[in-house]
Homo-oligomer: A and B are copies of this chain.
């Protein structure tokens, strides 16, 4: 018997290489996991929203392979991406007598994947794990490339590890149960790949934005596959973000400020990134890198994806100042200088700093 029909994108990282399997009816088929190493125990980590939909089906698929199989259900949401929640995973691993060969399965969106991955990186200094992303955002971005971690009250994703999974299972059927707001949030990260890496993909998204919003299976399959290909190529060149990989953070510097400033979970990560891309595009224009028409084109597409294109006010007294303050703790910052991902309209992106005055102009323009 063979694994169910699917396409595969390979992440090339020497002895840490792994496949992303993309298809429908994948995650609950035991054959999907046939090549994984055996172990006496496994732990599925999921959240309270995803568990009722998919946890039992994943358990059924895995129970023949792992004699001691347990499921841990975490509270759902970015607000729970904390030490406290992470510790629930360690508690469960130790209570169930899990050892160094125990396999962790992250079943859910980006928060579940990031926390489970960091738990896998840290439990007994590293156990294997598998990503089973059930949101569009996780399938096209966060489950791929090995970034794991948790938030700190003073900054997003400030504590974590680069730690690669054994495989990523992108089951497109799970996207059919996604709330519309989460679908839009995922489209933000899909759109991102266009301006930083592939203008023909950007044009394809523009042509298929209605089909994507309507969850057309073929359109979603292509969007997930092409996004994973671009991410795989970037990550293979720069796993630990010494340089190039930072371009994947297009829109994220402004976006992280929105998330932190409003309180984690008020806006979805993808919503903040959508709006952040509009702001980063305006900044690129003010730096003379891109023309107004391209900024407008991107803004229209982001809006069609159901995403916000104007930023929230984070302070009545000094809104731009508050954005700047929050952005100074971004991981790309160096010696207190904020660094932005900028675009040039020709699918090239770069990381650079910008004068505060210019950044203030952009914030004033984009926040109503």
Chain A interface (Cβ < 8 Å from any Cβ of B): 40-41, 83, 87, 90-91, 94-95, 97, 99-101, 121-126, 147-149, 152, 154-155, 158-162, 240-241, 328-329, 331, 333-336
Indicate whether A159 sits within 8 Å of B122 (C-beta atoms), given known contacts A87-B83, A95-B154.
Answer: yes
A147 to B124, CA, bound (A): 10
Say how far A280's CB is from chain B's closest CB, in angstroms: 20
A44 to B90, CA, bound (A): 29
Indicate whether A240 sits within 8 Å of B101 (C-beta atoms), given known contacts A154-B94, A158-B90, A329-B94.
Answer: no
A125 to B159, CA, bound (A): 6
A95 neighbours in B (Cβ, 8 Å): 154
A101 neighbours in B (Cβ, 8 Å): 334-335
A173 to B76, CA, bound (A): 53
Do the beta carbons of B334 and A240 come within 8 Å of each other?
A: no
State the 6 A-B residue pairs at the shortest beta-carbon distance, nearest first.
A40-B335, A94-B154, A124-B331, A125-B160, A122-B159, A99-B334
Do the beta carbons of B94 and A155 come within 8 Å of each other?
A: yes
A121 neighbours in B (Cβ, 8 Å): 161
Task: Please tell me how many copies of the chain the complex holds.
Answer: 2
A334 neighbours in B (Cβ, 8 Å): 40, 99-101
Say how far A187's CB is from chain B's closest CB, in angstroms: 26
A310 to B364, CA, bound (A): 72
Indicate whether A161 sits within 8 Å of B158 (C-beta atoms), given known contacts A97-B328, A328-B97, A336-B97.
Answer: no
Do the beta carbons of A122 and B329 come within 8 Å of each other?
A: no
Do the beta carbons of A161 and B122 come within 8 Å of each other?
A: yes
Residue in B94, B125, B162, B333 whose CB lies within 8 Å of A126: B162
A91 neighbours in B (Cβ, 8 Å): 152, 154
Select from chain B the residue with minimum beta-carbon distance to A161.
Answer: B125
A159 neighbours in B (Cβ, 8 Å): 90, 122-123
A154 neighbours in B (Cβ, 8 Å): 91, 94-95
A125 neighbours in B (Cβ, 8 Å): 147-149, 160-162, 240-241, 331
**13 A/B residue pairs, CB under 8 Å, sorted by A:** A90-B152, A90-B158, A90-B159, A94-B155, A94-B158, A95-B154, A99-B335, A101-B335, A121-B161, A125-B148, A125-B240, A126-B161, A126-B162
Do the beta carbons of B240 and A126 come within 8 Å of each other?
A: yes
Select from chain B the residue with minimum beta-carbon distance to A95.
Answer: B154
Residue in B90, B124, B158, B241 whose CB lies within 8 Å of A123: B158
A228 to B271, CA, bound (A): 52
A336 to B94, CA, bound (A): 12
